[in-house]
Amino acid sequence: MFLSFPDYFLWGTSTAAAQVETAGDHPWRGLTAKDGYRFERTTDHEKRREEDAAFITRFGSVYRCGVDWSRLQPAPLAKFDPAVVDEYCTFFEYLKKRGVSLMFVLHHFCHPNWFEDKGGWTKEQNIEYFVNYTQQCIKYFGKYAGYWNTFNEPNVYAYNAFFSGDFPPHKKGKYLLANRVLDNMGQAHDIARLLIREKHKKAPVGISLNTASFEAANIWGVLPVAFSRWWFMTRAFSPFRKSDFIGLSYYAHVLFDPLPVDTINRPDKVRQLDLPHDKMWLYNPAGLGQVLRNFWQKYRKPIIITENGICTDDDRTRVQAIRDYLGVCHAAIQDGVDLRGYIHWSTWDNFEWHLGPTYRFGLVRVNLDTMERTMTGAGLFYEQVVLQGGVEV
């Protein structure tokens, strides 16, 4: 059966500057990931922009991406480095000429070391630095952005940076600090949204919130599930409610027994459960349907899937995941959810933060020794989905 999506439906793919460019002066630089790779040279994107653009343009009319704040602004409140501005503008212009506009992400888990040294998002007074950076982004890159994400997944950032300790600044169990970070980001979001509004009235501004399906594996999991659902998807979203659309990302099904069960930290348990999973999490596309309906019922705002994908080396598994997820999206639209678009993560394989580049999500495969790109079967499949505006299931 062919599932056709509405004409206005937006298709695209996404990457993040830090995950694809050689590291600037930011807190991820030099860290050793779980798979042993160093966060330094990631995918050489800065040297292969035209080649990468050729893939991007095959995957829809929107490319969700950002810039490396640390390369643009080497010191607090400094003017952006003209050479770096030029590098980005040349690339964005190239995409524009080929019919691709940006969903511009201002903050994606990464900021300059000087910002981190000042206390990063834990300090309210640092918001002014982000505002200055935003103003310059609007000035130089605003004309390329059809949509904006002020923040990528503030819930994942706050959790990993201040609770699990997996992201810099590697703090553990700092629940109050994590909440303060969310609130500071929320304030920064409100200011940035107004600034964008002043110059670009038509470009919708939102964030991308990470969502997941949380379920109790036993009685001990009931409370952790209730708390996780609330904190991750309600509490974390509350500072960002002033948004023109709701951007959601979805990857994971997490069981609690009472501790979270995922493939990264508890592979033996996942094997023992014998449930569908990828290299990072349990797999449950139906959970995305639940999330879409919940957010639509609660907020009644247009939704865009800003990221969705699967961590696997296997091409056929990726094709099946795209089919599964798009089936779920189509059913949600039929049910009245105002879903406006789907952006797949990721355009090409990249550096998966603290885990490393062997955790692959790309529609294009990257050879980690030579950085050579190869289109995959899943990439060809997604290209057809975009061309046909729908998917055969």
Interface residue with ligand BGC among 21, 68, 116, 153 (CB under 6 A) is 153
Which stretches does DSSP call E strand in 314-369? 339-345, 364-366
Report the Cα 308 to chain-centroid distance in Å: 8
Return all residues near 153 (Cβ < 8 A) that are at least 6 apart: 109, 207, 208, 209, 210, 249
Q: x/- contact string, 230-249, with ligand BGC (CB under 6 A)? A: -------------------x
Interface residue with ligand BGC among 46, 52, 278, 307 (CB under 6 A) is 307
Q: Which stretch binds ligand BGC (CB under 6 A): 50-58, 93-101, 151-159, 292-300?
A: 151-159
Taking the least distance from each CB to ligand BGC, the nearer of 195 and 248 is 248
> Does 68 engage in binding with ligand BGC (CB under 6 A)?
no
CA atoms within 13 A on the CB side of 58: 19
- Compute the least distance from the CB of residue 252 to ligand BGC, in Å: 9
Structure tokens at 255: 């069981």
Interface residue with ligand BGC among 326, 352, 382, 385 (CB under 6 A) is 352
> Does 152 engage in binding with ligand BGC (CB under 6 A)?
yes
Q: Which stretch binds ligand BGC (CB under 6 A): 150-158, 171-179, 230-238, 382-390?
A: 150-158
- Judged by phi (left if over 0) then psi (alpha if -120 to 50, else beta), residue 153 lies in left
Taking the least distance from each CB to ligand BGC, the nearer of 15 and 134 is 15
Taking the least distance from each CB to ligand BGC, the nearer of 5 and 154 is 154
- Compute the least distance from the CB of residue 232 to ligand BGC, in Å: 12
Interface residue with ligand BGC among 16, 246, 322, 386 (CB under 6 A) is 16
Residue 224, Cβ density class (10 Å: 0-12 exposed, 13-18 middle, ≥19 buried): middle
Residue 30 to residue 16: CA distance in whole angstroms: 18
Q: x/- contact string, 203-222, with ligand BGC (CB under 6 A)? A: -------x------------
**DSSP 8-state class, residue 306:** E
Query: Do residues 53 and 94 make contact, with C-beta atoms less than 8 angstroms apart?
Result: yes
Residue 284 to residue 253: CA distance in whole angstroms: 6
Residues making contact with ligand BGC (CB under 6 A): 16, 19, 152-153, 156, 210, 249, 251, 307, 345, 352, 361
